[in-house]
Structure 1
Amino acid sequence: MHTRVTGIVLSDDDKILLLHQDTDGPRHWSLPGGKVEDGGTLEEGLVREMREETGADVEAGRLLYLCDNVPARVVHITFEARIIGGALGAVTESADTRQIHAVEFVPLDDLPRLGFSDLFVKLCRDGFPGAGSYMGPKSAIGL
């Protein structure tokens, strides 16, 4: 198993920061994040991946959830993140970054038509009740 760390940035006007990018699956919008490098901390991985994929400098907030994707052999760890600087949209091309077409704050109401579940939208609106918990498979949080 390898570890993937992602960040959720929610705005005061009910929007979430997402990437529009090439993926292997049917959904072409995703949370920013990526693999934690050997010897690196979760926070370092989050800060680096958010900077590479969005151009934003962030600080890690609360641990929102821990999920696994057993078929892909990935543990997903997602944190609340707050933008503290950088230039949104200044994407850094790197070996592990899939082509990113856009970095946008997307209204939560638009998420279902972009392939996100109603459950994930509800979790965002409700402030991720049970934050910091192991949630089981990614499907348990609607991803």
Structure 2
Amino acid sequence: MTANETTTAPAPAPVTGPGVQVVAALLRRGDHIVLVQEQRDGQVMWSIPGGGVERGELLTEALVREVKEETGLNLTAVGPLAYLVNTTTDRYPSTVVLTFDCGEWDGEIAVHDPDGKVTGAVLLPLDEAKAVLASSTATRPEIEPVLDYLDSLTAGRVWSYRDDQPID
């Protein structure tokens, strides 16, 4: 190689295979909302209930299952789509999170998480829940959209993040 020659690294190969589908529920009752406490990567954090859609499962089926596992509550109707978050990270490439605004549920709060990550669930007044979420160590894509939605209740927004940084 001469002094004037440069080498260019080849472009990374595109990630193949399916992305990750996740559902989440804003469990609202009047001016109260359900939050879950999780142990993740050695940290305790607060978020809304939700989790991965299993192979062969419909989004609504996954939402009902995740709500039951993480809160013990029975989702009696899946509410409208509140917002969608699209993220990509090395750990979870091409993830789509669909969050539904759900007001129809019954039962008593009791965590039955088979993964053992969710350690608690509570029904909090909205202002208190927003303060807890704002101070949570959960990822930016988990917190920003839910706080924005709770402030405006404007449905249909799509949030995009690459490595937890917003894409406008």
TM-score (norm 2): 0.68
Assess, with a 3 A threshold, how the Cα gap between structure 1 residues 119 and 133 changes in structure 2: closer, same or farther. closer
Conserved? CA contact 2:82–2:149, under 8 Å: no
Given residue 102 of structure 1, which amino acid in structure 2 is its aligned partner? Answer: G
In the aligned structure 2, how far is the partner of 1:118 from the partner of 1:37?
25
Q: Is the 8 A contact 2:25 2:49 kept in 1?
A: yes
TM-score (norm 1): 0.78
Aligned to 1:82: 103
Number of aligned pairs? 134
Q: Which amino acid aligns with 1:94?
A: P
Is the 2:22–2:51 contact (alpha carbons within 8 Å) kept by the matching residues of 1? Answer: yes
Q: SS of 1:87's equivalent?
A: coil
Gaps of 5+ in 2: 1-18, 137-142
1:43 corresponds to 2:64? no
Does residue 125 of the first structure (1) align with residue 125 of the second (2)?
no
What are the Cα deviations for residues 91-110 of structure 1, in whole angstroms up to 9, with x where unaligned? 22313x41x23211123323
Distance in 1 separating the partners of 2:21 and 2:99:
11
Q: Per the alignment, do residues 21 and 134 of structure 1 end up closer, same or farther by CA in structure 2, a change over 3 Å counting?
A: same
Q: What is the rounded CA distance, in whole Å, between the counterparts of 1:38 and 1:47 in structure 2?
A: 15
Q: Give 2:131's aligned residue.
A: 112
Partner of 1:92: 112
- Percent identity over paired residues: 29
Q: CA RMSD in A?
A: 2.5
Q: Is the 8 A contact 2:145 2:159 kept in 1?
A: no
What secondary structure sits across from 1:9 in the alignment? strand
1:136 aligned partner: 160
Unaligned runs of 5+ in 1: none
Judge conservation of contact 1:7–1:78 (CA < 8 Å) in 2: yes
